Amino acid sequence: MSIQSSFDRKWEENVYSQGKQLNRYPFSDLVSYVMRLYAERLRSGEALRALELGFGGGNNIVFLATEGFETWGIEGSPSAHAFASARMKEKRINTELTVGDFVRLPYDNEFFDLVIDREAVYCNMPSAIKKIIREVVRVLKKGGRFLTFMYSLEHGSRLSDGGKLIDVNTYNDFVQGNFAGTGITHFFSEKEILNYLKDFEIEFMKHLRVDSLIPYKRNEYAEYHTCARKR
């Protein structure tokens, strides 16, 4: 797979062009973190630029823009882009949404105050993830934040849903569960994330694990939430 194009087209073919996973509401933890970090600055009228990597249905962008961020988004799927653009038009939200690949972000150096990855970077091969993080560093202002949500090695799907191992901690072709049909799926360790983010000051890092007990016993999901500030 060329590093110039890391986007897995299964997101277009199996998911968004079929009208699936076009999430309507922003993720609650993302809302909490963003409001905790930025509510005061937004209230004071400061102009803040936010980028979402992999905006899907535009659910998180609607929230960011409504709260007063100037927003940009990049997404590999043309169907998701068309859907999110229509949603923004309907809500009269002014935002710049681009179809593109995270490995080459079409933005100037030190442009953003905040870059959000709500479970999007994980859909890439390890070699591309390195490149994507370098791009995030490049486009963030000094003191800007990278707020990232990354699935962990403890995620129940990793060993239970029939994924094919294709690289270190990276799977494809899950036969069941949340990742079936969505293509490349990388699971992270704490050490790996900290290594990717070594140019940042880590403001917080959490590991969340949700274990289902009834009607079945298994880990439902496990993920890291990390807020990293560019030095």
* Under rule CB under 6 A, residue 71 binds ligand SAM: no
Provide, rounded to whole angstroms, the least separation between the CB of residue 52 and ligand SAM.
6
Which residues, numbered 115-154, are part of the site for ligand SAM (CB under 6 A)?
Answer: 118-120, 123-124
Which residues, numbered 170-209, are part of the site for ligand SAM (CB under 6 A)?
Answer: none
Identity of the residue, 9 or 43, whose beta carbon is nearer to ligand SAM in the bound complex: 9
Identity of the residue, 120 or 139, whose beta carbon is nearer to ligand SAM in the bound complex: 120
Q: Which of 3, 18, 20, 23 binds ligand SAM (CB under 6 A)?
A: 23
Element (H, E) at 98: strand 95-99
Nearest to 184 by CA among 129, 128, 123: 123
Minimal CB distance to ligand SAM: which residue?
54
* Under rule CB under 6 A, residue 75 binds ligand SAM: yes
Element (H, E) at 210: strand 200-212
Q: In sequence order, what are the beta bridge partners of 114?
A: 50, 145
Q: Which residues of 38-55 are buried (b: 16+ CB within 10 A; e: fewer)?
A: beeebeeeeebbbbbbbb
Query: What is the C-alpha separation between 113 and 64, in angstroms, rounded?
Result: 12
Provide, rounded to whole angstroms, the least separation between the CB of residue 19 and ligand SAM.
13
Provide, rounded to whole angstroms, the least separation between the CB of residue 225 and ligand SAM.
13
